[in-house]
Structure 1
């Protein structure tokens, strides 16, 4: 077992672990070059790489006794195909592995990756099966669980990590051990918060500081724009519509001033989402003004029309009582124009205006969604409470960098609710698929297999 640097970053060393360093090494691994190496050197390098990943806790002498040159595989047998054919079609292509398709032409079969099964005896080990079932974050941790008596096989405690599972065996791990292994790391023993929670809190604070700084910059820009609003040209842009002006810069300034005025006058009453939309609208206008010279003359009017329709759409989402007086008429007119443009059948008229009815529907929908979200949050809090006595951070959340390794092989049936799994059968190779998970290329695994084949 390696004792120095378990995860080498300069020379990637892959391990059966969920570590972030291992994830980094997975992105760097490649098939070693064979240009300046003899066949012996190629086999030795492949053996070194693959043994470093496939359970390096086992001594090499022990593994050579476990090695088996017979690699299990299966051939799919279709009873319909066997009933319709007598085997003569296998002679197509002079024995080159071709069989006739539906159109009568030869079709090449998928190759079976036999060499990927070189380390299949290790998949029967109990510690490897626990790691494959996502009950531990590494094979070393799974080995520790077995030695400490937290694992049962067929209802009996098993303390031997090298126990060879047979088809049908069920193994289970204590739930607290699994939640400790797969959950976020705890920051302190007397605190329920995890290291990830602290990182997220710092990111939220940084994002809030950036947002406040951005708001201050926008406020300074709006103050500067309000100070220069005394000119007759910009007063005209503020009162009229953008399409009435020949100068596109004046029209864009007018749009920005209208959005800023709505935001300043209704800041306390508007929801945070509407404020964000208005701020984003102001930013888009600023970007358009900065790129105004690069836009062609024919596309300037389309750009201004798009911005105007975007502002009108935002205004329809805001209740009319919360809008400034100058903007109420414009938003109502824009809503009326959109209603006329649509080809839907007219609804029966009522005494209430259309904008107020739409606002009432939005408010009811928002209240119902908020109630559903609150109910779901309370249910999650009851199922996953905060408990400082637990060895893992509460409320429980998955460990970092887990998603890249979260897969379960076909020969295991796992139930995460009771932390148990069944070893269904031994892994096999099929056409185009090998059931022993490995990050290495087939050539590397083939060279490693040849190394142990020669030495036996």
Structure 2
């Protein structure tokens, strides 16, 4: 086994469930061949593919296992074979009568007879799929080929009812192999943090992430509340500044009360501010505040009508204007409280309506006598489901794996079973049905590499033989 089993500088894909393998799979590309000789291309493809396909097998042993005859099958219709002897396939050959094979239509079978390419080169390492350790890894009984090899060597695997301690045993079609269920749960389950506690590193990491997420949510809520408060303050400032849009109002508010020579401008400014508050659709004012604003506008109009020419005393004008300013300020101070109270009442009404809907949806909740029975039955159902889960997956500190059992991390990306295996996860046993073969458009040997890379690796071993 190499020292750096998971290389991140050069992506090395391995047969295991790990974050390094998942990361290298995302970076895996066909190596460029523009600046390499054909020998270098073949050697690089050989090293990449052998790093994935059971690198624990020595190279000399693998070259003896290598077979240039790649198994493949062609799907054929038995009814068509019973009717014809095959001579019709050669009719018109060479005379230009036959059509393109990619667009040939078979009227008897009622479908387009598309001839897909058979990926023969993906079957380069098909002899390794017969090995017992590889079959255990493919059946999801171990988290890596190395772990499957360890299970075999330690005597936890049986083939056809007999203990098998040789990981290189070649399976034959129909052979059944079985792994001890406790070892499978230990191999594929989450690891314990300590021997005395059933908690795993995954649980602690999940709790830490949940705490961090909760703190982030709390911070985001605080930020939202601060933003809402700032928005409310901005709206209030905009509402106050909106009263100063016209040039006349700006001129009037820019001057001090003692310097005002024309009191009508100040009164017009106050009237415009009151109108803008009334017409502002964003504010949800209560009835009392609306009445006060309307009364304020009426009193303001009365004072404007009573206001005479410029020859009248300016002190009386200044006193009336100051009184009106104070009245409008008092009304403005009461408006935010009313809006908050109206929002609170609206939320209470919404909650009450939701409760009423829930009660109407559940006919048993309408009768107060049946509420206790309904709640007791629901609690009993939840308790029964929890007990069933606890019986199926109990907490046991004596187990070598973390309990309750959880699958190991990064398992979902590699959880697939090839066609040539029939697996029973309940008893941790599987049957090797047949040897893997290549079909039109499908190769049954799982591999992450491109067909060009596999073809170069096959040519390397083909030359060596």
Give the TM-score, by structure 1 length.
Answer: 0.70
Deviations 1:325-359 (A, max 9, x none): xxxxxxxxxxxxxxxxxxxxxxxxxxxxx785236
Q: Which residue of 2 aligns with 1:317?
A: 354
Instruction: Please give the secondary structure, in 2, of the residue aligned with 1:71.
Output: coil
Contact 2:286 2:342 in 1 (8 A): no
Paired with 2:232 and 2:111, the residues of 1 have a C-alpha distance of: 78
Q: Which secondary structure does the structure 2 equivalent of 1:318 belong to? A: helix
Decide whether the 8 Å contact of 2:158 with 2:177 is kept in 1: yes
Q: Are residues 194 and 431 of structure 1, via their aligned partners in 2, closer, same or farther at CA, if it must alter by over 3 Å?
A: same
Query: Are 1:358 and 2:357 matched, yes or no?
Result: no
Counterpart CA distance in 2 for 1:255 and 1:374 is: 46
1:369 Cα deviation after fit = 6.7
The aligned residue for residue 199 of structure 1 is: 205
Deviations 1:389-429 (A, max 9, x none): 11110000111100000000000000011011011111111
The 1:162–1:370 alpha-carbon spacing in structure 2 relative to 1, beyond 3 Å, is: same
Deviates more, 1:446-455 or 1:100-109: 100-109
Alpha-carbon distance between aligned partners in 2 of 1:117 and 1:180, rounded to the nearest angstrom:
32
The alpha carbon displacement at 1:60 in A equals: 0.3
Quote the RMSD (CA, aligned, Å).
3.5
Q: Deviations over 1:215-267 (max 9, x none)?
A: 555666778899999x9769961558xxxxxxxxxxxx99987555566xx6x
Task: Sort the Cα spacing of 1:52 and 1:239 in 2 relative to 1 into closer, same or farther, 3 A.
Answer: same
1:202: how far off?
1.1
C-alpha distance in structure 2 between counterparts of 1:451 and 1:65, whole Å: 14
Question: What is the count of residue pairs matched by the alignment?
Answer: 361
Whole-angstrom distance in 1 between the partners of 2:185 and 2:69: 38
- The structure with the largest alpha-carbon Rg is 2
Relative distance call for 1:203 and 1:255 in structure 2 (3 A) is: farther
Alignment of 1:3-82 (within 5 A): 3-82=2-81
Work out whether residues 283 and 339 of structure 2, in 8 Å CA contact, stay in contact via their aligned partners in 1. Answer: no
Residue 375 of structure 1, aligned match among 384, 388, 398: 384
Once the two structures are overlaid, the 10-residue window that deviates more, 367-376 or 199-208, is: 367-376
Deviations, residues 40-92 of structure 1 (Å, cap 9, x unaligned): 11111111110110000010000001111111111212112223444314557
- 1:237 is aligned, of 284, 287, 291, to 284
CA contact (8 A) 2:286 2:339 kept: no
- Per the alignment, residue 163 of structure 2 pairs with 157
| Structure 1 residue 204 displacement after superposition | 1.8
Q: In the alignment, is residue 168 of structure 1 matched against residue 174 of structure 2?
A: yes
Once residues 46 and 71 of structure 2 are traced to their aligned partners in structure 1, the CA distance between those partners, rounded to angstroms, is 20
- CA, structure 1 residues 202+167, in 2 after alignment: closer, same or farther (shift >3 Å)? same
Change (3 A) 1:213 1:371: farther
The whole-number CA distance in structure 1 between the counterparts of 2:385 and 2:403 is 18
Find the aligned partners of 2:30 and 2:340 in 1 and give their Cα distance.
57
**Match 1:435 to one of 437, 444, 457:** 444
Deviation readout 1:98-127 (Å, 9 max, x if unpaired): 684136998540111111100000000000
**Unmatched 5+ residue regions in structure 2?**
240-276, 288-336
The secondary structure found in structure 2 opposite 1:212 is helix
CA distance change for structure 1 residues 78 and 256 in 2, over 3 Å: closer, same or farther?
farther
Question: TM-score when scaled to structure 2?
Answer: 0.69
Measure the CA separation in 1 of the matches of 2:64 and 2:159: 24
Bigger drift between 73-82 and 178-187 goes to: 73-82
Residue pair 1:222, 1:260 contacting (<8 A) in 2 also: no
Alpha-carbon offset, residue 133 of structure 1: 0.2
Q: Are the equivalent residues in 2 in contact too, given 1:89–1:99 (CA < 8 A)?
A: no
- Greater mean deviation of Cα atoms: 370-379 or 192-201: 370-379
In the alignment, the residues of structure 2 paired with residue 316 and residue 224 of structure 1 have an alpha-carbon distance, to the nearest angstrom, of 31
